[in-house]
Structure 1
Amino acid sequence: MSGGPLSCFSKQGILLISILHYGVGISRLFNKGVGDSVELPSGLERKDLMSMEWKYNKMVIAEFEDNFTLPRSQFEGRLEMNENNFSLTIRELTLQDSGEFLVSAASNEGKQTPTMTIHLQIHEPISKVAIQKKMKLLANQSCSVWLLCNVSVCSNLSYTWERGNETYRDDQQIHFSLSPADGDISVTCNASNSVSWKSASTTVKCSNDTTTPDLTDNTRMKDTRSNSQAMSIYETVGDLAVPRLNTPQTLYDKITFGRQPEAPSSSNQEVL
């Protein structure tokens, strides 16, 4: 079974920090949430340095040569540079702060130091999760069940489903069959991105009067952080971005789920 109908529901590890080496330079990736602060390391010390500068998307935002200056930028009032190690602190992060930061320096002898590249990715924290449910009573009196995990954001999401004592990973929706003898079945969807995690639960039961509500109203929420965006082909339910339920064309007698995410390609990647 495929995941959500849009590629925006791609998978990404929780609080991933990748450290890759490219020749003489170093590249790092930081994931942060809206409203967070971040300290970007320069890898430098003030001793023996003649000059240095920070660039954001090729624009100089902080520099040192005899004294420290912070040219006007979108970070005005939120930016601070450490005078000893030249680290850069940005407060009250927004989605628009995502981008590439470069730090370079020259020694007193005029020798250029290796350039540090930092990729900063800002994510919207998940504020709400709900389960969309569709059930169909079949001729043999069993029920076909489709469940879709709807999340308030559409960015780098991972999913885990719990059904009884079983756990299924990395699919936005699941499909399975029930018989009336199975009774009440509790199902939970856990949704996460790099900066937040939330879950919702629902109960399904197969009976002769099985109905198919569009969105469950008995979900139980677990909070971690707060904030929502909906896309054009989505229906809006509360502050959820709700995709259309992708109903399979054939009936399965077990839960099916999508491909596992590919492992990171770099052997030097570090997950914190």
Structure 2
Amino acid sequence: MSLVFTTAISGCSMFALAAFGFSSQAQAFTISGSADGVWSNPILDEANLCLKTPNHPECATMVQGVGTNKFSWGTVAKISATKKANELTFTGNSFSADQGSWTKIGTLKYFNAINYADTNVKNVTLNLALSFGDSQKPVNKLLQVNFNLVNTPNPAKPKNIQELKDVAYADRVEFATPLPTTEFIYNLDSFIFEIGGFGKPIFPRPPQTSISALEDDFAQNQFGIEHEIYARVSYGQKPNSPPKNNVPEPSTVAGSLLAGMYLLYRKNFSKQKAKSSCR
């Protein structure tokens, strides 16, 4: 009876300790932070008139909002019903997420204007200001996120605005690849912050890296005109130390020792049982 009891206790102990080991390894840190951003470095399309005639009167107002979270560009065509220029608006937010999980860091709104072809911009940069950890001693990082502004040519002489309301003439905004990342040190640990794209990436579906809009309209999805931008924080390489997976967890070591003791006990028990059967 004592032998059966001891064997049962040993098995249960191994199971419990192994479960503890897995649970301790599965525990994830939670890190909080915030994101904000302003637009910079607009790059004009090769056909832009301001590259050919920099002193043209329209050049003074063709690009607006640099240094703010709302960037606009282009000269609105007379056929436009809204009389509204192209516009990108980024709104950042606070976030809190477990290690390796995707979290929303802000939203992007995109309005696609009907503008003259020689007033287009082809690239613009979002300077993303990130703050991690305690508000008393935050870790601040600046991440430059580049966007391509893909302009689809419209008919030279459209009959009316409805002719332009076709997906064939839609324009889009897309993340320039590769998607940006940055590293930072917090509480002596190294972390990696990476942009995922528009919407929450769900395996095996790849992240959405572009949004499109019809002429004279906002880019829309099932939730409206705001497109959520997701990112995640993961462990990086610990500074001046070997990789974490080279050093076993204490619970893993303890579990291995207990497993060895249990197997040795079973081996001795088998020998004693064999001797007993020969008598």
Q: Which structure shows the bigger proportion of residues in helix conformation?
A: 2
Structure with max Cα Rg: 2
Q: Settle same-fold status: TM greater than 0.5.
A: no
Higher relative contact order (CA 8 A, sep 6+): 1
TM-score (norm 2): 0.26
More strand by share: 1
